[in-house]
Amino acid sequence: MKITVIGAGYVGLVTAVGFADLGNEIMCVDKMPSKLSKLSKGISPIYEPGLTELLQKQIGKGKIHFTDKIEDGITFSDIIFLCVGTPQSDDGKADLSQVEEASIDIAQNMNGYKLIIEKSTVPVNTHQWVKTVIKRNLKKDIKFDVASNPEFLKEGSALDDFVNPDRIVVGVESEKAKDIFKELYKPFVKKGISLIITTPAAAELIKHASNSFLAMKISYINMVSELCEKVGADVDMVAEGMGYDKRIGKDFLCAGIGYGGSCFPKDVKAFIKIAEEHGIDFSLIEEVDKINIKRRTNFIKRIKNVLWIIKDKNIAVWGLSFKPNTDDIREAPSIDIVGELEKLKANLKLYDPKARENFKSIFPEKQNIKYFDDKYKALKNADALLILTDWDEFKGADLDKVKENMRLPIIIDGRNTYQPKDMKKKGFEYYSIGRENFDPKGVWK
Ligand code: UGA
């Protein structure tokens, strides 16, 4: 099938490359010349495992094309995925100006029936606005449908998630739109993946409700982790015991310094705003957000408790991205934590396998902020190591080498990377989340 994707950001690009790999022909439209020139050469502007390789393969096969001409994109196919940004505005609501702009562009260039599909995360009933804007700007009487087909991709495993989703949700209002989706998703249904057909409003809500629920699981276990520390229980054991109950499930129960990224923080706030506009009490979700913010301030407090004076201390930081396997630092806890330590005049030695360049755009290299391309080099003479992202390479680190390089063997771990008993044996002063904090010098309060 021929498919147009508007917006070559993270969602658009994975969608475009994923559908191309299934044999479809894709036209991807984006306004940013710098992005397009990279993409046309087969270079992905974001780091996502496997994306560059698949992009190059599909360009080579002639299955994917890039353009900045919106009219070329719209006349290319009957199926148009809207993958433009829906960032958070100052009041917490989603800023839908790019959705409106794309809808006007579609209306002005329509050459026949179109199925316009919202893929980006949008507030419930955005499809009504898209319909209204298109109707207002249409030059001729042309039939079209607006549908919602939210994405559930996780950064770092987006291509796998595209190929093997837990479910596919589509919200439609016409038989024609339903039939197009059935054809488009035939390869998935053949594999036994459920195609859930619902209304556009329900599909829009499924996305916001799912993300907020997952964020709630994280804040829940983080709340429990605080109690674990007070009563001497291990939060990982508690989470494991809970997770065996199928109704609860094991995923998204890792305690730590909280969630970041371009989705959960923004979507939780937007969901609260939607409820507020409809006069519904969403204080449960408000608490989810509050607990998450508190994770960062608590972690900073912990660093101060352990290190006492921060000024001039050499603090190594492993992990800057908001989660492993991505170079994305949007809303990453590292931004608040590094920012506060910088204010307190620590000497920061930063390491991340992929996010270094993005982090430099917020914290440029200077006298007290240095970046390293080797995690052990970042530890030279360190008074403490902070672990802020759970990259696999940290789990497999040579702990003897870590200890040798540091001035003091103090690790403050925001992601429960190691087992407290192993760290005790190795002679580390090791602090983690919701578990026994091994403190041989008795400084922990
Ligand atoms: C999230 C959802 O998981 C996807 O289903 C959704 O499609 C996507 O948002 C989106 O709306 O586009 P993503 O933000 O890429 O995906 O990453 P997650 O794996 O969900 O992690 C989000 C944050 O939660 C990370 O900072 C991660 O470190 C944190 N997290 C996750 C925890 O602190 N504990 C956990 O147990 C799991």
State pLDDT tens for residues 390-401: 999 999 999 999
What residue's CA is closest to ligand 1, atom 37? 252
Closest to 4 (Cα-Cα) out of 20, 196, 57 = 20
Measuring from atom 17 of ligand 1, which residue has the nearest CA? 154
Q: How far apart are the CA of 260 and the centre of ligand 1, in A?
A: 7
How close is the Cα of 396 to the center of ligand 1, in Å? 23
Q: Which residues pair with 66 in a beta bridge?
A: 28
- Which pairs count as long-range contacts for 376-381, CB under 8 Å and 24+ apart, including other chains? 376/401, 376/402, 376/405, 377/351, 377/405, 378/316, 378/317, 378/318, 378/349, 378/350, 378/351, 379/316, 379/349, 379/405, 379/406, 380/349, 380/405, 381/314, 381/405, 381/406, 381/407
- Alpha-carbon span 204 to 207, nearest angstrom: 6
Atom of ligand 1 nearest to the CA of 152: 7
Query: Taking the CB of residue 377, how many other CB atoms lie within 10 A of it?
Result: 13
**Cα–Cα distance list, 290 to 36, 269, 370 (Å):** 39, 11, 32
> In the chain, which residues have pLDDT < 50?
445
Question: Which residue matches tokens 């001039």?
Answer: 312
Angle between the N-to-C axes of helices 10-21 and 51-60, in degrees from 0 to 180, rounded to the nearest 10? 50
Other Cβ atoms closer than 10 A to 436? 18
Degrees, nearest 5: CA angle 178-182-185: 130
Residue nearest to atom 25 of ligand 1 (CA): 259
CB-ligand 1 contact for 48 (6 Å cutoff): no
pLDDT at 442: 58
Q: What is the mean pLDDT of the chain?
A: 96
Q: Atom of ligand 1 at shortest distance to CA of 251?
A: 36
211 Cβ closer than 6 Å to some ligand 1 atom: yes
φ/ψ of 310, rounded to 5, equals -95, -35
Ligand 1 touching residue 121 (CB < 6 A): yes
End-to-end, the C-alpha distance of the chain in Å comes to 63
The residue whose C-alpha atom lies closest to atom 16 belonging to ligand 1 is: 154
Please confirm, yes or no, whether 263 is among the known catalytic residues.
yes
How many other C-beta atoms are found inside a 10 Å radius of the C-beta of residue 301? 11
Rounded to the nearest angstrom, the distance between the alpha carbon of 55 and the centre of ligand 1 is 24
Give the C-alpha separation, 145 to 57, whole Å.
32
The Cα–Cα gap between 234 and 248 comes to 18
Cβ of 214 below 6 Å from ligand 1: yes
The span from the CA of 438 to the CA of 424, in Å, is 7
Provide the pLDDT for residue 445.
45
Give pLDDT, residue 438: 56
What pTM was computed for the model?
0.95
> Residue 162 C-alpha to ligand 1 middle, in angstroms?
15
What is the CA(264)–ligand 1 centre distance, in A? 7
